[in-house]
Structure 1
Amino acid sequence: MKQQTFLNMKPHWKHRYCHGGTLRQSAKGRGARPLSSKDPIHLVFKVNKEAVRYGLRSSKNFSLMTRLLKRYSSKFFVKVEQFSVQGDHVHLLIRGGKRSQIQSFLRVLAGQFAQGLTDTPNVKNDGPKVWKYRPFTRVIKGFRPYQIVRDYIQLNECEANGRPSSKARLRGLSREQLMELWV
Structure 2
Amino acid sequence: MKSTQLSLIPTRSNKRFFGGALLVGRRKTPRPLNTQEAIHFVLRSQFAQGKTSFRTQKNLRGITVILKKASVKYGVRIYRQAIQSNHIHLVLKIPSRKSYKCFIAVITGKIASIVMNFQSFKNFVKDLLIREAGEGYKTPHQGQAFWEYRPFSRLLFWGKDYKTVINYLLKNTLEALGFLKYEPRAKNYVYEKIHERKRKREPNISWARDFKTPIW
Give the TM-score taking structure 1 as reference length.
0.76
Q: Which residue number in structure 2 is paired with residue 125 of structure 1? A: 121
What do the CA deviations read for 1:95-139 (whole angstroms, capped 9, x no partner)? 11111101210111101111122133xx74323432122111111
* Unmatched 5+ stretches in structure 2: 1-10, 126-144, 187-210
- TM-superposed CA distance for 1:69, in Å, is 0.6
State how far apart, in whole Å, the 2-side matches of 1:85 and 1:156 are.
8
Q: Secondary structure at the match of 2:121?
A: coil
Residue pairs, 1:11-30, within 5 angstroms: 12-13=12-13, 16-27=15-26, 30=28
Are the equivalent residues in 2 in contact too, given 1:19–1:30 (CA < 8 A)?
A: no
2:83 to 75, 82, 85: 85
Higher helix proportion, which one?
1
Q: 2:113 aligns with which of 101, 115, 119?
A: 115
SS at match of 1:105: helix
Shift of 1:31: 2.2
Deviates more, 1:47-56 or 1:89-98: 47-56
Out of 57, 60, 63, the residue aligned to residue 58 of structure 2 is 60
CA contact (8 A) 1:46 1:90 kept: yes
CA RMSD in angstroms, aligned pairs only = 2.5
Equivalence map 1:104-183=2 (5 Å): 104-120=102-118, 124-126=120-122, 127-128=124-125, 129-162=145-178, 163-167=180-184, 171=212
Tell me by how many angstroms 1:142 deviates.
3.1
Asked if residue 46 in structure 1 is aligned to residue 31 in structure 2, the reply is: no
> For 1:74, what is the secondary structure of its paired residue?
helix
Residues 43 and 135, structure 1, Cα contact 8 Å, conserved in 2: yes
Kept in 2: contact 1:51–1:130 (CA 8 A): no
Are the equivalent residues in 2 in contact too, given 1:64–1:116 (CA < 8 A)?
yes
Alpha-carbon shift at residue 54 of structure 1 (Å): 3.4
Could you tell me whether the CA contact under 8 Å between 2:83 and 2:89 is conserved in 1?
yes
1:171 is displaced (CA, Å) by: 4.9
Letter in 2 for 1:12: R
Cα distance change of structure 1 residues 145 and 171 upon mapping to structure 2, 3 Å threshold: closer
Q: Render the CA deviation track for 1:59-117: whole Å, top value 9, x for unaligned.
A: 00100100101110001000111101111101111111111101210111101111122
Q: Any idea what SS the aligned residue of 2:41 has? A: strand
- 1:20 partner letter: G
Which AA in structure 2 matches 1:18?
F
| Stretches of structure 1 lacking an aligned partner (at least 5 in a row) | 1-10, 173-183
Q: Percent identity?
A: 25
Structure 1 moving runs of 4+ over 4 Å:
167-172
CA deviation map 1:25-62 (0-9, x unaligned): 143x8421111111001011101236873311110010
Number of aligned pairs?
Answer: 158
Distance 1:62 1:17, change over 3 A: same
CA distance in structure 2 between the aligned counterparts of 1:99 and 1:138, rounded to whole angstroms:
15
Q: CA–CA distance in 1 between the matches of 2:172 and 2:183?
A: 12
Q: Which moved more, 1:159-168 or 1:81-90?
A: 159-168
